Structure 1
């Protein structure tokens, strides 16, 4: 079968090359298109993957079999939908949730225990470090009641305002009970 005087194999191959090239560009410059994908409600990676899967399976079926082109188009659509669904469920969704699990919000720091690495003077700022799953979080800190807190002291985060953690000295009484 031909479409606009061009064989279906050529159309599939051209679509495969174009979609593959755009996919490679999307890998490098994908952050620029993230807003576009959210605006239309679809993930550009899924659209590009669908076109790639569709054209690859269509080209392969046209080259290897003598099945009717209409049946090949329908089969290619089903193959592309299946592979696209599997890609979304087993790769893209887990990657998105894994990325979110490594981040933190300032609100999530409330109630956490950290260690002072730069002492906090009266009415001044110091620095605190908090251990997290993704590594160490270092933030500016201030005494909750404007008290002096020495370097190396454990502190409890009470409040977060404009990126500054307001802390109070913290002693873990649980450890003291176990050492007696």
Structure 2
């Protein structure tokens, strides 16, 4: 079958090459378009590009290897592309997006965490704190909550976060005998 004077196999192949090229461009410039995927939810550019890639690849293979009608091949290719796109979204894209979020932290989430001073905090000055987490080590500037001196190596509790600075107090985790009863 021909469409606009071009064989349908050539059209499928051209669509596949365009979808593949746009996918590579999206890999390089995807951060610019990231807001589009967040705004429209299901209209994620990755899903749209992969749908056209799956559609054209399936259509090309079916046109080349079977004697089915072109309309039936297009419908079959669209169904297969939709199924593969759904599987890609459920098993790859959704887990990747949630994994990326779980490794990040907000400054508000640091409140109540215990860390260790690696650069001593002088009176009315700044030092540095290290907080260990499941995703790695977080190093942030710190100041004494009461503007007091905190020596290097001391365990501290984060009470407040302002403009990227953690305000801390010395932390002691010793239980008294009457606390256990």
TM-score for both structures, normalised by structure 1: 0.94
SS of corresponding position for 2:157: strand
RMSD: 1.3
Equivalence for 1:33: 33
Aligned ranges for residues 44-123 of structure 1 at < 5 Å?
44-123=45-124
State the 1:28 CA deviation.
2.2
- CA distance, structure 1, for counterparts of residue 71 and residue 130 of structure 2: 63
Which runs of 5 or more residues in structure 2 are unaligned? Answer: none
TM-score for both structures, normalised by structure 2: 0.93
1:69-106: CA deviations, max 9, x gaps?
00001001100000000000000000000000100000
- CA distance, structure 2, for counterparts of residue 59 and residue 163 of structure 1: 55
Q: What is the total number of aligned residue pairs between the two structures?
A: 176
Equivalence for 1:135: 136
Which runs of 5 or more residues in structure 1 are unaligned? Answer: none
Equivalence for 1:169: 170
State the 1:38 CA deviation.
3.2
Q: Choose 165-174 or 86-95, whichever is displaced more.
A: 165-174
State the 1:40 CA deviation.
4.4
1:10-30: CA deviations, max 9, x gaps?
100110111111112212221
Q: Choose 33-42 or 132-141, whichever is displaced more.
A: 33-42
1:27-72: CA deviations, max 9, x gaps?
2221122123334442100000000000000000000000000000
